[in-house]
Structure 1
Amino acid sequence: MDSVCNIQLMIFLLCAVTIGVQGRSPRIFTGQDQKDGTVQVDTVTTETLQGGLTTVFLPIIYIIVVVVALPLNAMAIWVFLFRTKKKHPAAIYMANLALSDLLFVVWIPLKIAYHLNGNDWIFGEALCKVLVGFFYANMYCSILFITCLSVQRYWAIAHPLSHQRKNNKIAMGVSIAIWVFIWLCTTPLYLYNQTATISGLNITTCHDVGIIDNIKYPFFYFIFMAVFVFLVPSLVIIVAYVRLLRTLGDSMMEESAGKNRRRAILLIVTVLLTFLLCFTPSNIMLLVHYSSIKAGGKDNIGYAFYITTLCLASLNSCLDPLIYYYVSEDFRDNVKNTLLCRSNRTVERMRVSFSSMKYSKKSNAYTSSSGNTESSTC
C-alpha cells in the first residue's frame, strides 16, 4: 500500500508541476495570447503554417507512413501471435514494438486530414491530446524496445545456452515495465491544452502552437526524456553492438559466424538509420525549440525544421519491420509462409517431407558408396 500511495503522490506532483498550479499568466510557445482567446504568432510560424512544407510535404510523409507501416506492423503482430510457435525474448520485444507502432499509425489519418485542411484541427481538444500522446509514446517506446532487442541480440549470441523460459519471463516483465513507464511519462501531455486558435489565420492548430502556464515545465520535461529515454538507451545500444561485433569476431572460425556477422551488420545499419533519421533530430530539436522559447526568443527561426523532424520521427514505424527481419530467421520464414498462404500444418508437413528426402538421399549415398567399395574389393 505504501508503494501505491507513493506512486499516486508522484503522479499528483507531476500533474501539479505540469499544469502550473502557481497561477502564473499564460505563456505561448510561439506567440502572444490575445484577449479574445486566440494566439498571435510570429512571422516565421505564420509562413510555416501557410506554406507547402506543412500543407503538402508533411501529409505526403504521413501518407507514406500509413501505407507502409500499417500493413507491415499488422502482419508482424499476426505472425508473432499466430504463426510463431516458440516464443523467445526477441519475439516478445518485437511484438511489443509492432504493437506500439500500430497504436500510433491508426491515428495518423487524423494528422493527414489536419495538414491537408491547412493545419486546421476540427476534431476537438480530446482527440488532439490522444494523437500527441500516442506520438510521443510510440517514439519513446520504440527507443526502449529497440534497446532491449539490441541487448537481447548480443546476449543470445554471447550466451547461447542461457535458460529460455527464464529469459521469456524477464522479457515479459521488462515489456510491462516499459509500458507502465511510458504511460506515466506521457501523462503530463494530457494535462494542458494542445490546441490553439491562431488569430488572423482562422485555424486551430494541434500541438504546433501551444499554451501553457509556465514554459520551464515542458522544457525540463523534454530534457528528462531526451537524457533518460533517448541518450542513455542510445549509449546502451552502442555498447551492445560493439560487444556483439567483438563476440562474432572471436568466433570467425565457426561456419555460421560469417552469416551471423552479416545479419548483425545489417541490423546495426538499420538501427543506426532509425536513430539518425527519426529519433536524434526530433529529440535535439525539441530541446532547441523549448530552449529558444524559455530564453525569450521572439522569432522562432528553427520552427520549420522542428516541425519537420517531428514528422520524420514517425518514419520509425516503417523501419522497425526491417529490424524484425534481420533479428529473427523464424520471423522471415513465417512472413514468407503467410504471404504464400501456407498454414502451420502445411509448413510442418513440408519440413517432415524435406527431412525425409534429405535422410533418404544420405542413405542412398551411403549404400551406393558401400556397394562400390565391396565390388572393388572383390
Structure 2
Amino acid sequence: MVNQWVILSVYVFSFLIGLPANLLAMCTFFKKLGDKPSPNDVLLFNLTVSDLLFLIFLPFKMYEAAVGMKWYLPQTLCSISSYVFFTTIYTSSLLLMAIGVNRYLGLAFPFKYRQRRRPMYATAGSVLIWLISASHCSIVFITVHMQETNGTANGTAPKTVCYEDFTEKQKRILLSVRLEFFVVLYMVPLLVCVFCYINCIYILYTRPHITKEKKQRAIGMALCTLSIFLLCFLPYNTSHLVGYSSNKSPEWRYYTLLLSTLNTCLDPIVFYFSSSTFRDTTRMSFLKVMRFRQWKAKDTTAEMSHVTNCYPKNSGTS
C-alpha cells in the first residue's frame, strides 16, 4: 500500500528546499545571460527552468497526496500536471548529459573548443532537448484521450485518480513507450555522462599544471551528476522495465517518483561545482543571511539590556 503522508512529506521537503535554491540560480544565470554567457551558462539556465517548472506544478501532486492519492480537480489539469512532471524529469537528464559533453569537449579538445565555442550552439541544443522530451511525454495526452473516449462510450463515471488504472489497450501502448524512455532517455544519457566524466577526471589528473581545487570540483560535479542519475532517475526508470516485463505498473512506482522530485534539490549542487558565478552568488547570499542574523541577535540583546535597565535590582529594603 502507498503511504500518502510519506509522499506528501517528500513533496513538501523538495518544494521548500528546491524552490529557493533554484530561484537563486535563476537570478544568477539570468544576469549572466545578458553579459557574455558561455555555453555552460545556457545549459545551466535551461536546467534551472526545468526544475522551476517542475516545482510550480508540484503543489498539484501535493494536493493529490493530501486527499488520499485521489484526483478531484479537472482531468485536464491532471493531464497538464502529469505532462509537465514527466517532461521536466527527462529534460533534466538530457541537460545533465549535455553539460557533461560540454565539459568533456572543453578539456579533451581545448583549442578547437575555444574556436567554435558559441552560446547559440548550446541554445540550439537546449531547444532540441526540450522538443525531444516534450514530444516523448505527449503519450500522457494520448493515453488520457483514449481513457476519456472509453469512459464516454461505456457510460462510466469520471475517474477519481490521475493517470492510473489503464485498460489493456492503453497498457500495451504506454508500457512499450515507457520501455523506450528507459533506453533512450535514461540509459543513453547515463552512459554518455559516465564516459564524459571518467575521461574528464583522467585528463585533469594527467595534467600537472591544473590546480587541485579544479580537480576537486570536477570530481564533485561527476559524483553529484552520477548520484542524480542513480538515486533520482534509476529507480523510476527501472519501474518502466519491470512494468513492461510484468504488463502492469509496480505499486512501488509511486516511491520512485518521490526520488525523482529530489532532483530539484541536488541540481543546485551541480550549479555550484560547474559555475563560478553561482558559487560567488551563493557565498554572498550566505554572508548576507549570517550578517542579518547577527544584526538581529545584537538588536535583541540591546532590547533586553534596555528592559533590564528600566527595572533596577531590588536593594533589599521594602
TM-score tier by shorter-chain length is 0.7 to 0.9
Total equivalences in the alignment: 277
d(CA) in 1 for partners of 2:244, 2:258: 17
- Give 4+ residue runs of structure 1 displaced > 6 Å after superposition: 194-197
Q: 2:173 aligns with which of 217, 220, 225?
A: 217
Q: 2:105 aligns with which of 138, 149, 155?
A: 155
d(CA) in 2 for partners of 1:99, 1:272: 21
Q: What do residues 246-278 of structure 1 show as CA deviations (whole Å, max 9, x unaligned)?
A: 111210x2152x222111111111112111111
Q: 2:49 aligns with which of 99, 115, 123?
A: 99
> Shift of residue 83 of structure 1?
4.7
> Contact (CA 8 Å) 2:101, 2:193: kept in 1 or not?
yes
Q: Tell me the percent identity.
A: 28
Distance 1:307 1:249, change over 3 A: same
d(CA) in 1 for partners of 2:44, 2:210: 27
2:268 alignment partner AA = P
> Contact (CA 8 Å) 1:153, 1:327: kept in 2 or not?
no
> Contact (CA 8 Å) 1:56, 1:115: kept in 2 or not?
yes
Q: 1:262 aligns with which of 204, 208, 216?
A: 216
1:286 alignment partner AA = H
Residue 248 of structure 1: aligned partner = 204
Distance 1:169 1:118, change over 3 A: same
> Contact (CA 8 Å) 2:194, 2:226: kept in 1 or not?
no
What CA RMSD, in Å, does the superposition of the two structures yield over aligned residues? 2.3
Distance 1:153 1:62, change over 3 A: same
Matched, 1:181 2:136: no
Distance 1:277 1:208, change over 3 A: farther
Matched, 1:289 2:243: yes
d(CA) in 2 for partners of 1:108, 1:214: 25
Q: What do residues 165-187 of structure 1 show as CA deviations (whole Å, max 9, x unaligned)?
A: 74312111101111111221111
> Contact (CA 8 Å) 1:270, 1:323: kept in 2 or not?
yes
1:142 alignment partner AA = S
d(CA) in 2 for partners of 1:254, 1:139: 38
Residue 79 of structure 1: aligned partner = 28
Matched, 1:168 2:115: no
2:79 alignment partner AA = K
Q: What do residues 255-305 of structure 1 show as CA deviations (whole Å, max 9, x unaligned)?
A: 52x2221111111111121111111110011221243126xxxxx7x41x2
Distance 1:212 1:333, change over 3 A: farther
Distance 1:60 1:164, change over 3 A: farther
d(CA) in 1 for partners of 2:32, 2:122: 19
d(CA) in 1 for partners of 2:86, 2:100: 21
Q: What do residues 91-138 of structure 1 show as CA deviations (whole Å, max 9, x unaligned)?
A: 111100110111111111111111111112111111111111111111
> Shift of residue 150 of structure 1?
0.8
> As a proportion of its length, which structure holds more helix?
2
1:335 alignment partner AA = T
| 2:161 match: secondary structure | strand
d(CA) in 1 for partners of 2:181, 2:273: 28
d(CA) in 1 for partners of 2:29, 2:106: 19
| 1:261 match: secondary structure | helix
> Contact (CA 8 Å) 1:121, 1:204: kept in 2 or not?
yes
d(CA) in 2 for partners of 1:268, 1:307: 28
1:67 alignment partner AA = L
1:199-348, aligned counterparts within 5 Å? 204-211=160-167, 213-251=169-207, 253-256=208-211, 258-293=212-247, 302-303=250-251, 305-337=252-284
> Contact (CA 8 Å) 2:32, 2:41: kept in 1 or not?
no
| 2:118 match: secondary structure | helix
Scaled by the length of structure 2, the TM-score of the pair is: 0.80
> Shift of residue 206 of structure 1?
1.3
1:268 alignment partner AA = A
Structure 1 unpaired stretches of 5+: 1-47, 295-299, 342-378
2:205 alignment partner AA = G
> Contact (CA 8 Å) 1:193, 1:212: kept in 2 or not?
no
> As a proportion of its length, which structure holds more strand?
1
Q: What do residues 11-58 of structure 1 show as CA deviations (whole Å, max 9, x unaligned)?
A: xxxxxxxxxxxxxxxxxxxxxxxxxxxxxxxxxxxxx25xxx2x2100
d(CA) in 2 for partners of 1:245, 1:89: 20
Scaled by the length of structure 1, the TM-score of the pair is: 0.68
1:96 alignment partner AA = N
d(CA) in 1 for partners of 2:70, 2:205: 55
Structure 2 unpaired stretches of 5+: 152-157, 289-318
Larger Rg: 1 or 2? Answer: 1
2:261 alignment partner AA = S
2:81 alignment partner AA = L
> Shift of residue 203 of structure 1?
8.0
2:20 alignment partner AA = P
d(CA) in 2 for partners of 1:212, 1:105: 32
| 2:188 match: secondary structure | helix
Q: What do residues 325-344 of structure 1 show as CA deviations (whole Å, max 9, x unaligned)?
A: 00111221133345667xxx
